[in-house]
Amino acid sequence: MAEKRVILLIEDERTISNFICRALAANDYKTIAAATGKEGISLFFSHQPDLVLLDLGLPDIDGLEVLGQLSGLPRETPVIIISARDRESEKVRALDMGADDYVVKPFGVPELLARIRTTLRRADRIRLSQEVQKDRYRVKDLVVDCARHQIFVGDEEIHFTQNEFKILELLCAHSGKVLTYDFILEHVWGPYGGTSNQILRVNMANIRRKLHENPSDPKYILTELGIGYRMLEDAT
């Protein structure tokens, strides 16, 4: 019998906490609940969960402070923010600080479970790729071969500029996760990227054109308006 995945829930509203705990238990997860940020950090170290669900509006310390402490650890445990704060600036800040996903309250159980499954799969894939260096990604009929610096859509090889390839490679390496504009700019252009997203938008438009992708009906790369981009999950 497979061992249950352990989820740490840091949520101060008892009604919401009980609701989430029951839903997770019904779907074969083991849940540990904390009502404050300090308690959540303590439980994190004592139980080493597979995933953390973190509310931002905690009674003792702000959830972003908790996120900062958890994201700075050598052992990277995925964190999903569950919060009533729905401003784009809050989402961007949390994602830039290391959160893997952001779910706005109120949310349905199916959505939360889907986000958890996706995040756990991605975390497992990252851990595996750290053991075996991965250099080939497949998303539907798109294949990105990092070792050979080649990109194929079906049997057609597509030629990219250096920066276009870097963007696609970065999105593939984090497939399933939203990468903010600033994150991509920093990793592709470094200190020369500036703070304007225009250079990134131009490159993304070229990438989509070369991949024959319609932005209104994307096959590979999803746009998170005002936040960044998300590559569909790697299929290999």
Bridge-based pairing of strands 101-104 and 79-83 is: parallel
Question: Would you put residue 28 in left (φ > 0), alpha (ψ -120 to 50) or beta?
Answer: left
Domain match, 202 and 99 both: no
DSSP H/E element including 83: strand 79-83
The mean pLDDT value for 213-236 works out to 84
The one-letter code for the residue type at 224 is E
Same domain, 107 and 156: no
In a domain, 101, yes or no: yes
Q: How many whole angstroms separate alpha carbon 52 and alpha carbon 156?
A: 41
pLDDT band at 139 (very low <50, low <70, confident <90, very high): confident
Whether residue 182 sits in one domain with residue 85: no
Q: What percent of the chain has pLDDT over 90?
A: 53
Does residue 10 sit within a domain? Answer: yes
The reported pLDDT for the residue numbered 1 is: 53
pLDDT for position 146:
85
Cα 128 from chain centre? 17
Predicted local distance difference test score (pLDDT) of residue 134 = 65
Same domain, 93 and 192: no
Res 123: pLDDT: 82
Q: How far apart are CA 56 and CA 82, in angstroms?
A: 7
What lies within 8 Å, CB to CB, of 225 at 6+ separation is 88
Strand, helix or coil at 49? coil
Residue finishing a domain among 94, 111, 130: 130
pLDDT digits (tens, 9 = 90+) for 149-195: 899 998 899 999 989 999 999 998 888 888 998 889 888 887 666 66
Q: What is the pLDDT, as a whole number, of residue 24? A: 96
35-63 pLDDT tens trace: 999 999 999 988 889 999 999 999 999 99
**Mean of the per-residue pLDDT values for the chain?**
87
List the structure tokens of 46: 């004592």
Q: What is the pLDDT of residue 132?
A: 45
Domain for residue 106, yes or no? yes
The answer as to whether 165 is a domain residue is yes
| Alpha-helix residue ranges (DSSP H) falling in the chain | 14-26, 37-47, 63-71, 88-96, 109-131, 162-173, 181-189, 198-210
- 121 and 23, same structural domain? yes
**Counted domains in the chain:** 2
Q: Which amino acid is at 45?
A: F
Angle, in degrees to the nearest 10, between helices 63-71 and 37-47: 20
Q: Which two tokens stand for residue 22?
A: 């029951």
The residue segments making up the domain with residue 96 are 6-130
Q: Looking at the predicted structure, is the pLDDT value of residue 31 above 60? A: yes
Determine the Cα–Cα distance for residues 167 and 184; give it in Å rounded to an integer: 7
Are 24 and 100 found together in one domain? Answer: yes
- Nearest CA to 34 out of 65, 62, 4, 13 is that of 13
In a domain, 1, yes or no: no
Domain harbouring 141, CATH code = 1.10.10.10
**What does DSSP assign to residue 224?**
E
- Residue 171: closest CA among 200, 132, 131, 128: 200
Are 78 and 112 within one domain? yes
Does the pLDDT at position 233 exceed 50?
A: yes
State phi, psi for 223 to the nearest 5 degrees: -95, 125
Phi-psi region of 138 (alpha: psi -120 to 50; beta: other; left: phi over 0): beta
Q: 38 and 101 share a domain?
A: yes
- Mean pLDDT for the stretch of residues 84-91: 87
Please tell me whether residues 157 and 201 are part of one structural domain: yes
Split at pLDDT 50, 70, 90, the class of 131 is: very low
Whether residue 156 sits in one domain with residue 211: yes
By C-alpha distance, which of 168, 183, 171 is closest to 99? 183
